[in-house]
């Protein structure tokens, strides 16, 4: 609707529903002020881009567009209120399991809302699952088992709870953006070989394994660290780095840290 009026607010403000975006949209709907006046409604860091805002707001916002945008904003506010009420009801219903929710919240990529989904879908008693692998199989996130002539083929995970899967994949994507965690390192390690979707499912599987042990032991998650894979595969990493340096023309000799000291 804004583009149709040649209003390019989204090109400058990353969040139209933020404080600055809503203030500017309210001014557009109200029909008050020119582009320069509306641009002055920006707050925080967006004020650094007031010249760009003035250009972005120099459109033709007419009566029918004001009418439609006003109804869209009212609908968004209504949905936000519904979500808030639903979140309050969920928080009340999971109150008896607050300890488990707090423990799951310690896992990288898992926020409170995801923790509530995990508690709702798998419960808090892990005794029903003999091992973490049984939980992954029940959830439909276990690795496929399709081998022929000693070669493993790509297979799809079987169907499980769609809500649990969506929550775990979303958490995996959030964990993949972290810089100093084991799950972030795992996501970046898998990304070149498997692509974004498969890497997210694989990290989601890892998160589910962690969930099992956190709930079974009733202990907070202890991150293995971003260097876990490099430490575990030290020789492979050393060999790869030596080959890269030799390809650049260097002569490389390996010397253990102790002897160097």
Say yes or no to pLDDT of 181 above 90.
Answer: yes
248: in domain:
no
Report phi then psi at 220, rounded to 5: -65, 155
Q: Which residues pair with 152 in a beta bridge?
A: 147
250: in domain:
no
Q: How many domains does one find in the chain?
A: 2
Question: Residues 117, 163: contact at Cβ < 8 Å?
Answer: yes
Cβ-count burial of 113 within 10 angstroms (0-12 exposed, 13-18 middle, 19+ buried)? Answer: middle
Assess whether 84 and 102 both reside in one domain: no
Question: Residues 153, 143: contact at Cβ < 8 Å?
Answer: no
The 10s digit of each residue's pLDDT in 182-221 is 999 999 999 998 899 999 999 999 999 999 999 999 999 9
249: in domain:
no
Tell which of 75, 92, 109 closes a domain: 92
**Cβ neighbours of residue 98 closer than 8 Å, sequence gap 6 or more:** none
Assess whether 73 and 37 both reside in one domain: yes
99: in domain:
yes
Assess whether 78 and 198 both reside in one domain: no
Instruction: Give exposure, 153-178, as e/b (b: 16+ Cβ within 10 Å).
Output: eeeebeebbeebbebbbbbbbbbbeb
118: in domain:
yes
Q: CA 212 → CA 102, 123, 138, 148, distances in Å?
A: 14, 10, 12, 31
Assess whether 117 and 164 both reside in one domain: yes
Q: What is the pTM of this model?
A: 0.69
Assess whether 36 and 105 both reside in one domain: no
Q: CA 151 → CA 84, 145, 193, distances in Å?
A: 50, 11, 17
Q: Determine the Cα–Cα distance for residues 12 and 45; give it in Å rounded to an integer.
A: 11
Assess whether 85 and 114 both reside in one domain: no
- Domain residues for 219? 94-143+155-226
The 10s digit of each residue's pLDDT in 25-43 is 988 888 877 888 888 888 8
Q: CA 2 → CA 42, 51, 55, 69, 127, distances in Å?
A: 17, 19, 14, 8, 54
* Tokens encoding 130: 């003999």
The 10s digit of each residue's pLDDT in 106-125 is 999 999 999 999 999 999 99
**Mean pLDDT (whole number) for 1-21:** 87
Assess whether 75 and 136 both reside in one domain: no
pLDDT given for residue 158 in this prediction: 62
Assess whether 206 and 178 both reside in one domain: yes
Assess whether 73 and 110 both reside in one domain: no
Assess whether 56 and 136 both reside in one domain: no
Instruction: Give exposure, 231-257, as e/b (b: 16+ Cβ within 10 Å).
Output: eeeeeeeeeeeeeeeeeeeeeeeeeee
Give the model's confidence band at 153: pLDDT under 50 very low, under 70 low, under 90 confident, else very high. low
Assess whether 104 and 84 both reside in one domain: no
Assess whether 69 and 124 both reside in one domain: no
Tell which of 92, 115, 132 closes a domain: 92
């Amino acid at each position: 609707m804004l583009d149709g009026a040649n209003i390019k607010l989204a090109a400058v403000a990353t969040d139209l529903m933020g404080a600055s975006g809503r203030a500017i949209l309210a001014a557009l709907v109200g029909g008050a002020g020119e582009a320069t006046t509306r641009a002055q409604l920006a707050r925080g860091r967006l004020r650094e881009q007031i010249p760009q805002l003035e250009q972005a707001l120099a459109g033709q916002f007419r009566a029918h567009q004001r009418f439609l945008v006003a109804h869209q904003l009212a609908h968004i506010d209504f949905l936000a209120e519904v979500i808030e009420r639903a979140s309050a009801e969920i928080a009340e219903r999971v109150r008896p399991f607050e300890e488990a929710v707090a423990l799951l919240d310690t896992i990288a990529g898992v926020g409170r809302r995801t923790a509530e989904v995990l508690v709702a879908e798998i419960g808090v008693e892990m005794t029903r699952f003999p091992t973490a692998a049984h939980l992954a199989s029940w959830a439909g996130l276990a690795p496929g088992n399709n081998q022929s002539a000693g070669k493993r083929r790509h297979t799809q995970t079987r169907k499980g709870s769609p809500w649990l899967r969506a929550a775990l994949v979303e958490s995996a994507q959030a964990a993949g953006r972290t810089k100093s965690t084991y799950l972030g390192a795992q996501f970046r390690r898998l990304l070149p070989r498997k692509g974004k979707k498969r890497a997210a499912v694989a990290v989601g599987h890892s998160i589910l394994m962690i969930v099992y042990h956190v709930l079974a032991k009733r202990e907070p998650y202890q991150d293995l660290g971003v260097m876990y894979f490099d430490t575990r595969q030290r020789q492979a990493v050393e060999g790869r780095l030596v080959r890269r340096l030799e390809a650049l023309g260097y002569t490389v000799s390996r010397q253990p840290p102790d002897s160097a000291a």
